[in-house]
Each structure stands twice: as C-alpha cells, then as structure tokens.
C-alpha cells in the first residue's frame, strides 16, 4: 500500500466522525457513523455495539470501508478519504491503546460511561482521497 500522506493522516486524526460500511450476510450494504481514533500510521479504531448490524455483518466478512469527508456547498472545497480495511476485534494491549486514544479524544464519553463494547481495529489496505492532496472537483467515485 502507498503510505498515507501527512495531509491525509492529519485529516483522519482530526475527524470526530466517519462512516463505515460493511456487507451483511445476504449481500446488503450497511453504514453507520462512528467516532474514530487513529494510531497515526495505518489503523483506525472504532467501537460498535456488540450485537448490532455492523458486528453481525463482520462475522461473515471482515471487509470494511470507512469514509472521512467534509461537505461544503462550495464544491471546490469538498474533501474526502476512503479507506479500504479489514476489521479485527482488538484484545489485550492493543485494546488498551485504542481506549487511551478514545478517552483522550472524546472526554464526553466518560459522562455516559462509554466503555469497550466491540472494539475494532480497521487495518488500512488501500485508500483514495480528494481535496487534500489531489483535487477532484465535484466528481467523486
């Protein structure tokens, strides 16, 4: 995989929301918004409901695609990064590391008792971006 450029890493790191898509058994796509934490290199951590549609979809396929994007009505300012990943439930030391990142980035989680449910490492295997390094105008994929 091409390394992620610094401008793309900064965009991922700064995002408080991204959307992740999975494929349900039977072939229907699913999407949810999640609060991501980035390891600064090539892993995005997210925490999803234990028995939700996303967790169940991952039983039959670990493929997950995340989009980080910012919309503007000025279409010359559109920005997006698409990450094609494999999802893996994290355990042990990596789980601790993920939750250090979550707690630092989302202090509001403490007030509602947000703790690990089904915490995933999204390991990036490929990516596309526009508006950060390369312009694309109004014609995304």
**Residues at the interface with a second copy (CB under 8 A):** 16-17, 19, 21-23, 27-34, 48-49, 52-54, 61, 63-67, 69, 71, 73-75, 78, 80, 82, 84, 108-109, 112, 114, 117, 137-141
Least separation, in Å, of the C-beta of 9 and a second copy? 20
CB of 25 to a second copy, least distance (A): 11
**C-beta of 93 vs 122, nearer to a second copy:** 122
Provide, rounded to whole angstroms, the least separation between the CB of residue 93 and a second copy: 25
What separation, in Å, do the N-terminal and C-terminal C-alpha atoms of the chain show?
A: 20
- CB of residue 5 to a second copy, shortest distance in Å: 20
| Residue 124 neighbours by CB under 8 Å, 6+ apart | 1, 4, 42, 43, 44, 83, 84, 85
């Amino acid at each position: 995989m091409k390394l992620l450029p610094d401008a793309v890493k900064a965009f991922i790191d700064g995002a408080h929301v991204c959307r992740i898509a999975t494929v349900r058994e039977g072939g229907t796509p699913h999407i949810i918004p999640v609060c991501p934490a980035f390891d600064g290199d090539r892993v995005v951590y997210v925490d999803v409901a234990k028995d939700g549609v996303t967790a169940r979809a991952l039983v039959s396929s670990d493929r997950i695609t995340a989009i980080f994007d910012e919309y503007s009505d000025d279409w010359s300012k559109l920005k997006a990064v698409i990450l094609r990943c494999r999802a893996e439930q994290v355990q042990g030391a990596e789980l601790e590391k993920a939750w250090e990142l979550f707690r630092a980035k989302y202090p509001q989680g403490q007030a509602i008792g947000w703790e690990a449910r089904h915490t995933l490492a999204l390991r990036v295997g490929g990516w596309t971006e526009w508006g950060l390094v390369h312009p694309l105008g109004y014609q995304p994929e």
